[in-house]
Every structure is written in C-alpha cells, then in structure tokens.
Structure 1
Amino acid sequence: MAADMTLPGAARRSLPVRAARWVWNNLFGTVANSLVTLAILWLAAMALPGALRWLFVDALWAPATADQCLQGAGACWAFLQAKYRLILFGPYPYEEQWRPALAMGLFFAMVVATLFPRTFRLAGRMRLLLGIWCVAVAAIVWLLRGGGGLAPVETRLWGGLPLTLMLSVVGAFSAFWLAILLALGRRSAMPVVRYSAIAYIELIRGVPLIGLLFMAVVLFPLIVPPGVDVDKLARAQIAFVLFFAAYMAEAIRGGLQAIPAGQYEAAAALGLGYWRTMRLVVLPQALRIVIPTLVNIFIGAFKDTSLVLIIAMFDLLGSANAAKSDSTWWGLYVEAYLFVATIYLVFCALMSAYSQRLERRLGRGRG
C-alpha cells in the first residue's frame, strides 16, 4: 500500500479516466478541435453503414457466379476467392506457387529482423547484416528461378507481389548507396566528379521512369553487340535503381548542406580523413535529417512498380488487371482494385509508421 502511495497521480488514475482525459484533450480541447471531430464523426456516420453493408452484409461469397454478383447489391468476394492467387503471384505456374509464397515469407522475416533494433546488436556489425541479406536475396532468387532440384521458371513468368517487392526493395536499397555517392560527388571539390554527378542527376530527373524502362527493355538490345543478352527483369531493376538514385541524391545533398561547418572542422581537428569524416560524423546526421524525404521516395518506388506493365511484366496491379480480364468474371473489377489498394496501403502505412519511430529513436538526446 505504501508503494502505491508513491506512484504519480496519473499512474493511479483508472484507465477509463485516462481515456476520457485523452479524448477531451485531443478531440474536444478547443472549439476548432471540436468542430473538426464532429464533422469527421458525421461523415463516418453517413458513410460507414453503407460501406459495411456493401462489404459484408450484402456481399456474395463462394459459390457464386459473375451474373449473381452483378445482380447483387454487395461485394463479390467469390471473385477474389477464385483469383487471389493470380493477383498475388501473377503468371507464375500454379503448382509451383508455394515457392514465391515461401520467398515472400523469407523476405518478410528478413525485413522484420532488420527493423528490430536488437538485430543490429546481435549482428555485431553492419557488414554481417548485409552479408545475411545477400544470402537471403540469393535464396529468394533461387526459389523463384529454380534449379538445384527445383523446376526452372523463367523471369517473364514472375509477377504479383513478389515482383513488386523485388523491384521496389532491391531497387530502393541499391539506389540508396548510389545516391550517397552521387550526393558526395555533387559536393566534391574535383570538377570532373562534380560535373559528372550533376549531369547524371539532372539527366535522369528530366526523364520519366516510363522512358527509362522503355529504353532498358526495348532500346538496350538494339545497341549492345550481337550475342549479349541481359535478362529483362535485370534491365528493369537497373532502370529503377538509376531513376530513384537521382532523386535520393538530391534529398541526401539537402541533408549534407544542413550540417554546420563546425562538424567538419571538429572532425579535421580529430585527424579524421574525408571518408571517415563522412562515415562517422557527417552522413549519420545528414541521413537523420532527411528520413521523411527518403521514406517518401521509398513509398513512391513501391507504388511506381506498377509502371512495368508497359514492358509486359505483371506486378501486383498488372496481375489484378489480368484477373479481372477473365471472361468468366467479366464486369467485376472493384474487388480486385480494392484488394490491391489494401495491400499498397498496408505496406505504405508500415513504412511511414516505422520512419516516424526511427525519427523518434534517433532524435533522442537532441536539444
């Protein structure tokens, strides 16, 4: 009992009291907050009943036909039950789709392990973590491509969510390291390096991603010597890396310019060379500043994978378009797009939430 008396007053309050205080302070604390809260509640009351009725009450589940769905008043989840594997895995052979499912499971496990703070302490060094990632990516490629006991599957049959994840994650990760070099090169004192970086960034930023994909897939085979063949997926991946590296480079350069000159002088006084100064002093601070911008570019890269449809590659959105084109389910498309939009929303929300958590964690100790 004596221990309870030492607790702060806020800790002794019951949960309902604390919840009511939070609602009042955050939703009705001022006149403006009250008006906005009431407006949102009114919109929710108007929209939610109809949405819930369409989603669940009047929805049709398997077994149901397209005609029954078109005549019904609710969502046709029977369509998704029949086509969800095509949407998720694209044209990948049906009987082998356990392989991309396992590859995605491995990918998600690596992402969770990387984002979990203790992983860095367990790994000891970043090099070890990067090595583990290289092994994981090689395992994912082996699962998707086949060989070594697995039936080979051509990259033209890769699609759906695995293709979206590979293009966006591998592309953004590789572009990040290239962007650091470009940002440093644009601030270099050596004219050749500086103007080369400027020319690259301005050229790539002035070309749409569709143009780069078109050149990588259509024009590249025409300009290379006969007999030289680079996989179409690899060419598309390189186009993603080159494109987003230019945008990330400008974001990182903004962070570098925000670092006070005293940081460079302090590093020089400690006897640190250029690369050690950048690695140990300048870049950690600059990257912390530009976390929101970089995450925004990552999210854009994740969504822009849908552009590979123009080069006959079926990412998540392209697979949804293929699913709704089936004559058996002709006329149904809302459910497919809603399913894909939910996946995009979940991934983008997770990236945004983690970036905010990372900002708070790295901002500790700052004034």
Structure 2
Amino acid sequence: MNAKSKTPIAWLQRNLFNTWYNSLWTIVCFALLSWIAYGVGNWAFNKAQWEVVTSNLPLFFVGRYPADQVWRLWLVLVIVVGTIATGILNRKRRFLFILIPVCVLSILWLIGGGFFLTTVGTNLWNGLLLTLLAASISIVLAFPIGILLALGRQSSLPILRGFCTIYVELVRGLPLIGILFMAQVMLPLVLPSQIQLDRVVRAIAGLVLFNAAYLAENVRGGLQSIPRGQVEAAKALGLNTSLSLLLIVLPQALRTSIPAIVGQFISLFKDTSLLSLFALVELTGITRSILAQPEYLGRYAEVYLFIGLIYWVFCYTMSQVSRKLERKSI
C-alpha cells in the first residue's frame, strides 16, 4: 500500500464514495447529521438557559451540606485521589488492605463529623455527594459478599450451596425497587427496637443485597472458566483447598470476570437514582429542588442534560479503568 492510499481523501473514496449508491447514502447521512447538529447547537447556544446549571452548581454537587464545612469534602477528595495514586504506584498490594479501611473510616468521619468536628446529619448529604457515597459503599460491601456467595454455590456442602443458590435466585427474580422498598420498610421491623437505622443506611443495604447476587453470578462464571487442571496442579504443589482457591483459582476467575463485574458496578452507580423515590436527595433527586425554583420552572432539558453528563463521565471513567485492567491482566 503506497503513501497516497493512506491519505484521508483515499480513505473517503475507499469507504464512503466507492460506489454511486454509497456516495448517495453518504451525502444523505451527512445532510441529516448536519441538520441535527445545527438544531442542537442552535438550542444549546441561543435558546437554552444554562444559568439554571451555573447558578446551582453547589446544589448539584453537595446539596445542602453546610457551606462553612465544605472544606471537609475537599479533604475527602484529596484522600480519595491519594489512595488511588498510592494503589497505582505502590507495588506492595498488602499495604492497601490496611490503607483502604483507614481511608474509608476517615472519609465517613470527615463527612459525618463527630470527634471534634461539627456533626452533619445525613439529611444534609445531598446531590452528587450522596450518589458517590452510596455507590462507593455499596460497591465495597457488595463485592466481597458476591465473592462469598459465588464460592458458596461452588461448595460441596449441600446446606451452604442450597442457601447461596436460593438467595441468588430469589434476589435476581425481584426488581431493585422492590428490594429498596423492603429495606426501607421491613428492615426496621426485623431489628431490635433500640436499633434505629438511618434512611441512607437502609438504602445502601438494599443496594448491597441486590447487587451482591448479580456479582455472585459474575464471579461464578469466572470460577467455572478455570480449568480443573489448575486445582490439580495446586494440590500437586502441596497447597490445600483454601490456599489453592485464594492463590490460584480466585485471582484468575476475578481477572476473567473484570468486564462483567465493572458492568455491574456501572449499573449500581446508575441505580442510585432510584433513591430519590425514598426522599433521599441524591443527584437525580436534587433536580426537584432546583426545578421548583420559580425562575427555573420548566427548564427540564438543561438540568437533565447536565446530570446525564455527570453520570456519563463517571460511567465512562469506570469503563476505561476496566479496559486498562483487562490489558494489564493479559
């Protein structure tokens, strides 16, 4: 292939204008896309009232969190970025098992207060702050539970295998909204009267119970993809069942399941929008407060496009991290 065939004009001639009907379809599609782009651009630059977004950015991001305490959220961001950077640069993975729990406890302390910090109630945890907090905690809790359920379904003990199978199949047969309702209404009924769970805690419990079942199936698929010879080789080296599972089988299964697991994480992040049905003012719920302002009545398109962009940025970031993990594991 010569140099001329690699030019943009040559590519257009080879792929878009190689026949008369392809050329016609190219012109029609280009005209249609141009018309759509002109309409969207004209609305975005001439008709849309983006001040509904710019004037309410604090509400979108932190809701009614006290303005004089927002510095704590900036410190939380520093801790999160520092933890991620440490995990990428530090080759000693065992260090992360100590660092991550300490960081999680520090973040919850900074957000909620107490111990020399002003207490901020969960009713003031709104907007993107609540969305990220609910999604992150749910992911951290649902992932190990899902692994345990997947291992339980592979167990040789009939009682354990039956319990895990019933749980997974039962939860997967119920809609998430139903489980969230049960977590909000029924969970306080089965707990002792002296234990009063916060609405945010109940919502996170519902998300964890639901997503753990799906993560269990994702991990189980990875476990079934591991050849039986891997386990036999581990036994030949003198490893018992637990060590062969932790050191040989499970790491390979998780590596194989990365796309499905991250896909479930993305789904969980988007499912946090359902919390607005339970008077939890997360990112989607905060739009009701904003759209209720008299000067911004009816500005649905601008507000929902903005929060849609926020959801897309976080979901796209997770998908890119997933791709890097896949390439790294190959």
Equivalent in 85, 92, 113 of residue 65 of structure 2: 92
37-46 or 84-93, which moves further after superposition?
37-46
Cα pair 2:17 2:26 within 8 Å, conserved: no
2:33 is aligned with 1:44: yes
Q: Where does residue 255 of structure 1 map in the other structure?
A: 222
User: TM-score if structure 2 supplies the norm length?
Assistant: 0.89
CA distance in 2, matches of 1:295, 1:33: 39
Equivalent in 78, 90, 110 of residue 83 of structure 2: 110
How much has 1:110 moved relative to structure 2? 3.0
Aligned runs of 1:265-276 on 2, under 5 Å? 265-276=232-243
Equivalent in 275, 281, 294 of residue 327 of structure 1: 294
List gaps (5 residues or longer) in structure 1: 1-9, 59-73
How much has 1:108 moved relative to structure 2? 4.1
Aligned-pair RMSD on alpha carbons?
2.9
How much has 1:95 moved relative to structure 2? 3.6
Q: Where does residue 171 of structure 1 map in the other structure?
A: 138
Distance 1:94 1:331, change over 3 A: farther
Q: Where does residue 55 of structure 1 map in the other structure?
A: 44
How much has 1:252 moved relative to structure 2? 0.9
CA distance in 2, matches of 1:280, 1:29: 55
Q: Where does residue 316 of structure 2 map in the other structure?
A: 349
Cα pair 2:17 2:23 within 8 Å, conserved: yes
Equivalent in 188, 194, 210 of residue 155 of structure 2: 188
Equivalent in 89, 92, 96 of residue 129 of structure 1: 96
Q: Where does residue 3 of structure 1 map in the other structure?
A: none
CA offset digits 1:165-212 (Å, max 9, x no partner)? 111122112211111111111011111110011111112212222222
Cα pair 1:27 1:34 within 8 Å, conserved: no
Distance 1:21 1:160, change over 3 A: same
CA distance in 2, matches of 1:139, 1:324: 34
Q: Aligned letter for 1:335?
A: E
Distance 1:330 1:203, change over 3 A: same
Q: Aligned letter for 1:50?
A: G
Equivalent in 128, 132, 136 of residue 161 of structure 1: 128
Q: Where does residue 238 of structure 1 map in the other structure?
A: 205
Cα pair 2:291 2:297 within 8 Å, conserved: yes
CA distance in 1, matches of 2:174, 2:247: 34
How much has 1:99 moved relative to structure 2? 2.9
CA distance in 1, matches of 2:10, 2:166: 53
- Percent identity of the aligned residues? 41
CA distance in 2, matches of 1:291, 1:321: 36
Cα pair 1:89 1:160 within 8 Å, conserved: yes
List gaps (5 residues or longer) in structure 2: none
Q: Where does residue 6 of structure 1 map in the other structure?
A: none
Equivalent in 247, 251, 264 of residue 297 of structure 1: 264
Aligned runs of 1:74-89 on 2, under 5 Å? 74-89=47-62
Q: SS in structure 2 opposite 1:130?
A: helix
Distance 1:176 1:40, change over 3 A: farther
324-333 or 25-34, which moves further after superposition?
25-34
